Structure 1
Amino acid sequence: KKKKLSISNPSSPTLSLPFFPSLRSVSLGMADMAGHSHSLILILLFPLFLVTIKGQSPYYSCPESALTYKTNSKFERHLNQLLASLTANVAPTGFYNDTVGNGRNQVHGLVQCHPDVSADDCKTCATSAASQIIQVCPSKKMAVIWFDNCLLRYNSFNFFGIVDQSKLALVNVEDIYQPTKFKPLMLSVFRNLAASATTNSSSLRYATATVAYTKNITLYSLMECTRDLSSSSCSYCLRTSLTSIYQCCSDKQGARVLSGSCVIRYEIYPFFGNVLPPSA
């Protein structure tokens, strides 16, 4: 069932805390929410609003204010062509963007998989994303859907290279052990990951870290931007997301902040693998 909520729109890339972003109204939801082993909290970053959910990805966002298209229109045909192109071309690099049509009927889109996902699993994820995004966001001219292994985004506006500032936070309901000790560690790890993900040599715009927190607790962290972004735009997206996750969620055992341009996540269990080299 789709939940209509407000998602924050950060107005500044600063890491100064606390941080209070402005608002933008959108629709978002959780599709096929079955079988996840622990509860999460869906958070609006400001004002604070909580919805406890059980389930797993995908999560999706469809702005209520977005333009709509009609059934059997040129835009719908172009969107279907775009989604087919994205799923056909995402492997083996794990990223593909394309534009179909022109004028009012033009649609732009991208799909991206985590670099640690195999080419076959990447294509499977992209295919599922393309299929579900038109089901959960029917007739919308802009939408984004997030799976654990990939994200897919399309828009009638050419968003390539532009940071999507709408953000959704998902938080584990369990508190972390000794949060005053954990918060500075989490912040330090994410700052280092942001530097790694945004270096000129990091074309994947992706970085992970595994750090011991206590004798029995290990911190697993991930940062990733979509590969259409420049280093500076990626850095902006990650910094604003880090500010948000620190503000809302840094006393919990796990959390993630999702946007159409970047994802940051930490857990106390493994959720990523080794980065695979591109297929020949």
Structure 2
Amino acid sequence: MTPTKLDLIIGIKDPQPQRQTPLLGVQMNDAMEFYFNDHLVKANIFIYAGCSQEKYAPNSPFEGNLNSFLASVVSSSSQESYNTYAIGNGSSTPPEATIYGLYQCRGDLQTADCSRCIESAVNQIGLICPYSYGASLQLEACYLRYEHADFLGTPDTSLKFKKCSKSVNNDVEFFRRRDDVLADLQAAIGFKVSSSGLVEGFAQCLGDLSPSDCSSCLGEAVGKLKSLCGSAAAADVFLGQCYARYWASGYYGEFSPDSSHEDDIGKTVAIIVGVLAGLAVLIVLLSFCRKAME
């Protein structure tokens, strides 16, 4: 069951992890080290989610297998940055209870930071996609997905999320540098960081993709960065099995207010959650006051 609708977006703040030096097999300049250190602290920031409209029943065999999957993911993430699962696909399990899933952390993360990010994703996915037969959640530094149908190893270059900043006008040097970075990212195998002048970027494929499939997916991502975000000073594109991101120094985070419909949804839900939290506090205070008067 492929997630077909973004039902809900919730931003949940977690304790900030301690800064650690990323273990990368590439050289990074000072600006890129600042970016990764800053985004290590913000590893649990929500990017996008997808939830299937079909729901499972509470206390069903599917829920039991889902809980087993999520527990396995948390345990595995303390040792591995990527893993896949097929739970309940044996003859003794009802077909409707089968679960296929995976998780992956950003390639620069230390094991402890990967584990923290995955724990946050596990805690959030049930809130964002309650009782969903399929769900995916992308945080800043990790990704979690499960489905009822087997999706593992199936090519998927469909667009899941994009975000474009304000445009850069008539800057030939910027576009030359950007294209150099994107060309380098397109040739990535797994996780890659690249920079040229004041333009930086990184890209990553899912861990089970072959080098040729990874290159093909990143080619699609880079093409969409150029076609969908045009002359943006910073842009993100997430496809089904890979993503690519670039930015000009000083521009990352300065995205246009209308660059993503998902942002509007997120702000709306954040307001609703804030109002509900305020009402809950008010009810508790009124309850205490009533008891005091009695």
Is the CA contact (8 Å cut-off) linking 1:153 and 1:260 kept in structure 2? no
Return the offset for 1:167.
Answer: 1.5
Q: What's the counterpart of residue 208 of structure 1?
A: 193
Q: How far apart, in 2, do the equivalents of 1:179 and 1:144 lie?
A: 38
Amino acid in structure 1 at the alignment position of 2:84: N
State the identity %: 27
TM-score computed with the length of structure 1 as normaliser: 0.69
Is the deviation greater in 109-118 or in 175-184? 175-184
Return the offset for 1:68.
Answer: 2.4
Structure 1 residue 91 corresponds to structure 2 residue 78? yes
Q: How far apart, in 2, do the equivalents of 1:269 and 1:72 lie?
A: 50
Structure 1 residue 60 corresponds to structure 2 residue 39? no
Indicate the structure (1 or 2) with the bigger Cα radius of gyration.
2
Structure 1 residue 27 corresponds to structure 2 residue 6? yes
Return the offset for 1:26.
Answer: 3.1
Q: What's the counterpart of residue 178 of structure 1?
A: 170
Please point out which of 65, 78, 83 is paired with 1:78. Answer: 65
Q: What's the counterpart of residue 226 of structure 2?
A: 246
Q: Which runs of 5+ in 2 are unaligned?
A: 14-44, 90-94, 253-294
Q: What's the counterpart of residue 104 of structure 1?
A: 96
Is the CA contact (8 Å cut-off) linking 1:161 and 1:233 kept in structure 2? no
Q: How far apart, in 1, do the equivalents of 2:62 and 2:83 lie?
A: 20
Return the offset for 1:269.
Answer: 4.0
Q: What's the counterpart of residue 49 of structure 1?
A: none
Return the offset for 1:129.
Answer: 0.6
SS of aligned partner of 2:213: helix
Return the offset for 1:171.
Answer: 2.5
Q: What's the counterpart of residue 159 of structure 1?
A: 151
Indicate the RMSD between aligned Cα atoms, in angstroms: 2.5
Return the offset for 1:30.
Answer: 3.7
Is the CA contact (8 Å cut-off) linking 2:49 and 2:135 kept in structure 1? yes
Q: How far apart, in 1, do the equivalents of 2:148 and 2:180 lie?
A: 38
Determine which structure has the larger strand proportion and give its number. Answer: 1
Determine which structure has the larger helix proportion and give its number. Answer: 2
Q: How far apart, in 2, do the equivalents of 1:169 and 1:146 lie?
A: 10
Residue 184 to residue 26, structure 1, CA distance change in 2 (3 Å): farther
Which string of whole-angstrom CA distances, capped at 9 and with x for unpartnered residues, describes residues 59-101 of structure 1? 211244xx32111111111011101101110233311211211
**Deviating 4+ runs (over 3 angstroms):** 177-185
Q: How far apart, in 1, do the equivalents of 2:118 and 2:246 lie?
A: 23
TM-score computed with the length of structure 2 as normaliser: 0.66
Amino acid in structure 2 at the alignment position of 1:91: S
Return the offset for 1:33.
Answer: 7.3
